[in-house]
Structure 1
Amino acid sequence: EYTQSRLLTPLGMGRSNQSVGEMLTDPDHATAYERRSGVVVPVPARPVTALAPAGAINSSADDMTRWLLAQLGGRVPRASGHPDGPPVMSPATVARQHTPHTLIPEDPTFPASTRHAYGLGWLIGRYREHRVAEHGGGIDGFQTECMLLPDDGIGVIVLTNTSSSAMAPVVAYRVLDELLGLEPLDWFGDFKPRFDAAMGGMREARSVRRVVAGAARPRPLAAYTGDYEHPGYGVLSITTDGETLRPRLGTLDLSMAHRHYETFDLEWHELGDQSHIFPLMFLSDADGDITGLTVPFEPSVDPLRFDRLPDAPARDPEVLRRLTGTYAMGPVEIEVALRGDRVLTVAAPGTPSLELEPGHGLRFGVKGQPAITVEFELDDTGAVSRLVAQPLGIFLPKPLT
């Protein structure tokens, strides 16, 4: 609402919005495309409402010229076409956005165009000895490049409807060269070989990734199914689909294939010419039960761990209620009780109760006692036949008197 009322509307950016649904109702909206394995195909627009407003603005060339003028400190024409509309930002505010706030490593790859700092929403650097403020944006099937030369009063916006290309900066640099009256540099000749090498390198690396021959999957597919949770990424659910595992994480288009041992290739089929493959590795405890998995979604940190959530029966209040009662091992008795609807406790007479933490099947850990597990075994009728407390002993249900 703030962005709409304080920026888009005053600038006359009437076709700009922050909703994919609203964009699709425009009869002249762009269709998103990507290159998949060398073939250009249409892809659905991805709703990114949670990123609004910063990463979810849909706009047009005409609207973006108004944004460029505002960033260059000039008065923007009113929506009606009259010149000298009111400024939406003071000159000091504009200058502050283009002022370095955070230093970044300077990449020497292209000496004619370098970046050494980040301002407020703008990368700051030099282009052929002219001060430049630049930023791009991209999502499935779209990529934008916005460049300003604040001291020269020049702004360029390049909008493309593919994210499988390096065209946007090449076009922007050529426009800057023309407007500055400089001999154009061969940016296409610089970018194209690097782009092709990167695409080819990914294909070659994938073809030779290490696979241990004969390292068969050590357990049936059903053993891997369940819900795995990470505090930041949410729940990664894994189910079976015939003879394969089917992963689900948010709206991502994912698949899984066994590589070796308990490592699977988690393949993300979106955003780029080639799918992204992450090695997903299942983790297990001393009893052989799967307790979690790791996936290196973020290349700059250790693989992210998703902990396995308790199986459904261990979270079912009705199932838990049937597990309560007195259990005996000779003269030693323990009492299993239900606290609320979903928490089992265990206690020996005269001792404080300990909370049981659900795990795989009807096996529970003992809170505060990580070396102890409690597993309920059922008979054919669904009644508890015995309680196995490792490493303490086997307890049998005590009949009601």
Structure 2
Amino acid sequence: MSERSLITPMDLRDFLKARGWFLQKEALQHRYYAMSSAQYPRRQLVFPMDITADYDETLRQVIGKFADITSTKWQAIWSELATVRDDVLRFRVFFDGDDRSLPLSYASTLVASTEKLLKASACTVVIPRTNHPRLNLTEANQFVEKSRFNQTEEGSFILSVSCPVNSMDAQSRIEFDADDAPFVRKVTLSLQKALGELVTAIEGDALETLVDDLKASDAPLISSNLCDALLGMHDEHVDNSLDIGFEWSSLREAPKLHNLPRLRFQRDYFSRVEEVRRELIAQEKDEMDSYIGTVERLEGEMGEDGRRSGPVVLALLLPEGEIVRARTVLDADAYFKADKAHMSAGAYVRVTGVLRQGRQPRALTEAKSFELLTA
């Protein structure tokens, strides 16, 4: 894909304007953008307003000149320009030891948890509450559909997501400083504010006050669903920490919090996030239900009768389409079926129980009616 299809003259203009450059309007009548900067008074960037045959070459020259003027890496400028219309979220996973790879199951959970985090924030903007029974609001689904998974970046494991800032026109109950901000910007800003409040409360030993304020608020920014999504971004075996960064589209004025440092959730913060989640969630949500899934791991032991029983880890499909890992304890008869499913390609099971909230693998209690499904 060429630069021409990615970056338009107006994109470049808005990118430069967001960095303090201004238009010399005399050039407009000649179909050129001439950009000047008070910081570099003797330098000017000129490029056509129209995409001509040599536009790609001109674009490269302008960006090369801008990189030279500002002493910025050329590749970094291209990366920012490619997402000039988007608010960009970056999730960086880091941990001790061998950081060259991630368990595949955790990588899959990380992507699913990112989607859940975005949906939780979108639902909060539409209907602020401490617990969303389902993350299936039309606006939340549209928000995720509009978002894009970006190319991977250098530096440990970075998951980058672009949210086109002007891609949706939806109503919201959350209002910030700029009342005319588009829906996508409200979602990303709401998420930044919520995560910032959570980190501040954890580090300031003020979780009890935070929870009380959220329960009393008419428009709480933090929900149990957001906490649940964060918990899914921490793996107990990897024992990772998580950095979350925000970059704002040049199409809209950056919010006042745009200089907020990158938010860091240290590995020991996640147990505190779990405390907040438990306080916010409605207990009646944990109800008996039936789930279909696969057997991922067997952890039982041999009994005196020569039969195995004990814990197993399942991958369960929830009604809203999410797949979660859950641990439950089975008797010998059910464990025999689980073992058979685990050893059979494409085998599914159906289990009835109470799926508790929390970090994965979640607890499935009161398990009964464990069935091996045939093709």
TM-score between both structures, scaled by the size of structure 2: 0.28
Asked which structure has the greater CA Rg, the reply is 1
* Higher share of residues assigned helix: 2
Q: Which has the higher strand share?
A: 1
